[in-house]
Chain A
Amino acid sequence: MTDMTAATPAKSPSASEARTRRRNASERRFRLMGLIAVAIGVLALVGLLVSIFANGASTFRQTYITLDIYLDPARLDKSGARDIEEISKVSTFGYAPLIEDSLAAAMAERGLTGIDADDAADLISGEEPAMLRRYVLNDPSQIGETVEFNLLASGRIDGYYKGRVTMASAELDRNVSPEQLMLADELKEAGILTTRFNWDFFTNPDASDTRPEAAGLGVAILGSLYMMLIVLVLSLPIGVAASIYLEEFAPRNRLTDLIEVNIANLAAVPSIVFGILGLAVFINFVGLPQSAPVVGGLVLTLMTLPTIIIATRAALKAVPPSIRDAALGVGASKMQAIFHHVVPLAMPGILTGTIIGLAQALGETAPLLLIGMVAFVREYPAGPPEGFFDPASALPVQVYNWTQRGDPAFFERASGAIIVLLVFLLFMNLIAIILRRRFERRW
């Protein structure tokens, strides 16, 4: 080989050398630019994740105050008949003193004084009397017993242990005083006040502006889940059936070309347009209720369909024609060839497309705002299918909602909700990857 090149008379060694150098230099330049591009992308992603986690990770820990509460029959059931009607007449105001008394007793036991019982009780979330009332109404036989409860500390106290509230800021704050913070420290020392994993964040519904500590994603998660169910159940069969028909059966003519172009365009339509459509058609014309997962699900289905159709058609196209020929050659009908051979081979692509479509739908906010999913919902929707028509929230909308509120504790919650949303999306993508691996076959 070297002999041969040596034997070939080099026309102009310097010129060829210069060309080689230029070629190598341009290659290096291109590689460098690629690296820079990737670095920018990675940096942006890392920056985003760091900021979200820095703000939101603390959401998953929450300050609780553990108290033994005597469910005093004298207050809760004066008649003593354990009649649920009678008991339910006692409002949350009737329960607040129980907590107050219990806290006062606990403090007295440990010799903590110098703060009046009313102020001390403000350490505990205003949401908790309602919780206590639900507990009693759920199981009236507990009246007269002493039960241990983990009560949410108020947002300011929680913020104190997350660095949001300091002695100095408490001085200026109407909602909390330095004395209360000191009491919290003493309670912490006594083991009454603890910080632990925040399950309530996943199960509680949203809470009012003054009670960020009680705000949770329960209704939003359920609402999102209902919508995803509707989207999956509607868009997968419709999308796959439409794709199979268009790809395998429809004649190639003007009309199908037009349909094809329109599906591609539909995928690019801004999502808010689908929201307007949903408002006009499903709510104003059909008369479905506002804020209901069924409307959200229908709107998101419309949005997801083009994605699924495009992915499914690409997957069907990717199946080699030789497989169709093979099936037809042994006397399979067209339907049999498609459903026995082509569709199974296209399955990984179909499922991936579906999950990507679902993930998109899960994160979609704009159209849901238009159909009223932004409403403040405290009540859990019922189980499906009736629950599809009950008001609910959705994860991304809940994020949006919380970022609009004044208390910085809600900003923490919003970041926490984003983390939950990201975990869901990651999980869905993981499923897509696993399915793709499982179904992947060579031919």
Chain B
Amino acid sequence: MNMLSDAAAEKALVKKMNEVNYKMVGKDVSVYYGEKRALFDVNLGVRNNTVTALIGPSGCGKSTFLRCLNRMNDTIQGAKVTGLLTLDSKDIYDPDIDVVELRARVGMVFQKPNPFPKSIYENVAYGPRIHGLARSKAELDQIVEASLQKAGLWSEVKDRLQESGTGLSGGQQQRLCIARAVAVSPEVILMDEPCSALDPIATARVEELIHELRANYSIVIVTHSMQQAARVSQRTAMFHLGNLVEEDDTDKMFTNPSDQRTQDYIMGRFG
């Protein structure tokens, strides 16, 4: 990871971060998949206790940016990330940073619900168990219950915790995945089109949930639905062809965007 070349820029960054209370910051982030460049010098921050929506047409790099935030790009053969990414002002690509620990702090919910083919209980308990968050079975039970509560799933599954997680409906599976992410007490939760495989009712439940989670977590959500971005997020970032077009308050973005491309996209003229 190239360190910031000039100290002034770093100072400016720190200053801005202190002002607006950023949880995570990406500075000049570029991503290459082999020869192909997927992101071009993106500068974008994730604020505390805020839902940030990433919008833009397919293939514009939303997921790519999201995956930089918990280094899931590391798992892709040939992917290279340049620029600076910080969590609480610490470079997350620093060699000293343990990627496993990072991913426990920055959780992820995927596009397709992907519960483990294990029991509901095991799905939620897995994270806390490998991170040693519970010292006893009772404590683990407590974490599982609390996580399922937070994901709004507890009342539906409390009588069948030992049944397979894959036997739940799509919406329940996605909330189970959210419970699984929440169980390791992350600080940031990344969601990549979490509702794209769900029906409208399940979508509404998940959106409600995102709203509640915002009290305790910083959330970044990729979405294809403008309405969803408008409903759940406070900040919106618009991507186009690997570039960050603009980033602003959601209200402002949807009523009075500064960039023509954002306007066109929101009006449904492309994408």
Interface residues of A (CB under 8 A from B): 252, 320, 322-333, 336, 340-341, 345, 441-443
Instruction: Tell me if B116 counts as interface (CB < 8 A to partner A).
Output: yes
- B126 near A322: Cβ-Cβ < 8 Å: no
Asked if A331 meets B131 with Cβ closer than 8 Å, knowing A322-B110, A322-B112, the reply is yes
Which residue of the partner chain A has the closest CB to B78?
A252
Of the candidates B110, B112, B130, B131, the one whose C-beta lies within 8 Å of that of A329 is B110
- B112 near A323: Cβ-Cβ < 8 Å: no
Which residue of the partner chain B has the closest CB to A324?
B75
Of the candidates B102, B114, B164, the one whose C-beta lies within 8 Å of that of A322 is B114
Q: CA–CA, A73 to B112, complex, Å?
A: 86
Residues of B within 8 A of A341 (CB): 116
Q: CA–CA, A322 to B108, complex, Å?
A: 12
Q: CA–CA, A324 to B100, complex, Å?
A: 14
Q: CA–CA, A252 to B116, complex, Å?
A: 27
Asked if A329 meets B181 with Cβ closer than 8 Å, knowing A340-B126, A443-B166, the reply is yes
Residues of B within 8 A of A336 (CB): 130
Q: CA–CA, A49 to B108, complex, Å?
A: 58
- A442 near B166: Cβ-Cβ < 8 Å: yes
Which residue of the partner chain B has the closest CB to A322?
B114
Instruction: Tell me if B115 counts as interface (CB < 8 A to partner A).
Output: yes
Q: CA–CA, A323 to B113, complex, Å?
A: 10
Instruction: Tell me if B39 counts as interface (CB < 8 A to partner A).
Output: no
Within 8 A of A (CB), among B16-56: none
- A345 near B117: Cβ-Cβ < 8 Å: yes
Q: Give, as a whole number of angstroms, the nearest-CB distance from B73 to chain A.
A: 11
Residues of A within 8 A of B126 (CB): 327, 330, 332, 340
Q: Beyond A326-B110, A326-B177, A330-B181, list 11 extra A-B contacts (CB 8 Å).
A: A252-B77, A320-B114, A323-B117, A324-B75, A327-B126, A330-B107, A330-B183, A331-B130, A331-B184, A332-B130, A443-B166
- A329 near B100: Cβ-Cβ < 8 Å: no
Residues of B within 8 A of A327 (CB): 116, 126
Report which residue of A252, A324, A326, A328 has the largest number of chain B beta carbons within 10 angstroms of its beta carbon: A326
Interface residues of B (CB under 8 A from A): 70, 72, 75, 77, 100-104, 107-110, 112, 114-117, 126-127, 130-131, 164, 166, 177, 180-181, 183-184
- A328 near B72: Cβ-Cβ < 8 Å: yes
Q: CA–CA, A325 to B103, complex, Å?
A: 11
Which residue of the partner chain B has the closest CB to A252?
B77
- B112 near A331: Cβ-Cβ < 8 Å: no
Residues of A within 8 A of B131 (CB): 331
Q: CA–CA, A121 to B181, complex, Å?
A: 84
Of the candidates B75, B115, B164, the one whose C-beta lies within 8 Å of that of A326 is B115
Which residue of the partner chain B has the closest CB to A332?
B130
Residues of B within 8 A of A320 (CB): 114
Q: CA–CA, A326 to B180, complex, Å?
A: 9
- A selection of 15 A-B contacts at a CB cut-off of 8 Å is A326-B110, A326-B115, A326-B116, A328-B103, A329-B108, A329-B109, A330-B103, A330-B127, A330-B184, A331-B130, A331-B184, A332-B100, A345-B117, A441-B117, A441-B166
Asked if A323 meets B110 with Cβ closer than 8 Å, knowing A328-B72, A332-B130, A336-B130, the reply is no
Q: CA–CA, A323 to B177, complex, Å?
A: 12
Residues of A within 8 A of B109 (CB): 329
Q: CA–CA, A77 to B103, complex, Å?
A: 84
Q: Give, as a whole number of angstroms, the nearest-CB distance from B110 to chain A.
A: 6
Q: CA–CA, A345 to B117, complex, Å?
A: 8
Q: CA–CA, A340 to B166, complex, Å?
A: 17
- A329 near B117: Cβ-Cβ < 8 Å: no
Residues of B within 8 A of A331 (CB): 100-104, 107, 127, 130-131, 184
- B114 near A325: Cβ-Cβ < 8 Å: yes
Report which residue of A320, A329, A442, A443 has the largest number of chain B beta carbons within 10 angstroms of its beta carbon: A329
- A329 near B72: Cβ-Cβ < 8 Å: yes
Residues of A within 8 A of B130 (CB): 330-332, 336, 340
Q: CA–CA, A333 to B104, complex, Å?
A: 11
Residues of B within 8 A of A329 (CB): 70, 72, 103, 107-110, 181
Residues of B within 8 A of A443 (CB): 117, 166
Q: Give, as a whole number of angstroms, the nearest-CB distance from A86 to chain B.
A: 70
Residues of A within 8 A of B108 (CB): 325, 329
Residues of A within 8 A of B112 (CB): 322
Residues of B within 8 A of A323 (CB): 114, 116-117
Q: CA–CA, A325 to B116, complex, Å?
A: 10
Q: Give, as a whole number of angstroms, the nearest-CB distance from A416 to chain B.
A: 46
Q: CA–CA, A332 to B131, complex, Å?
A: 8
Which residue of the partner chain A has the closest CB to B190?
A329
Q: Give, as a whole number of angstroms, the nearest-CB distance from A441 to chain B.
A: 5
Q: CA–CA, A229 to B240, complex, Å?
A: 61
Residues of A within 8 A of B115 (CB): 326
Residues of A within 8 A of B103 (CB): 328-331
Asked if A326 meets B114 with Cβ closer than 8 Å, knowing A331-B127, A336-B130, A443-B166, the reply is yes
Residues of B within 8 A of A252 (CB): 77
6 tightest A-B contacts by CB?
A331-B104, A330-B127, A322-B114, A329-B108, A331-B103, A443-B117
Residues of A within 8 A of B164 (CB): 441
Q: CA–CA, A340 to B127, complex, Å?
A: 12
Residues of A within 8 A of B101 (CB): 331
Residues of B within 8 A of A330 (CB): 103-104, 107, 126-127, 130, 180-181, 183-184
Q: Give, as a whole number of angstroms, the nearest-CB distance from A341 to chain B.
A: 6
Report which residue of B108, B109, B164 has the largest number of chain A beta carbons within 10 angstroms of its beta carbon: B108
Q: CA–CA, A333 to B183, complex, Å?
A: 17
Residues of B within 8 A of A325 (CB): 72, 75, 108, 110, 114
Residues of A within 8 A of B177 (CB): 326
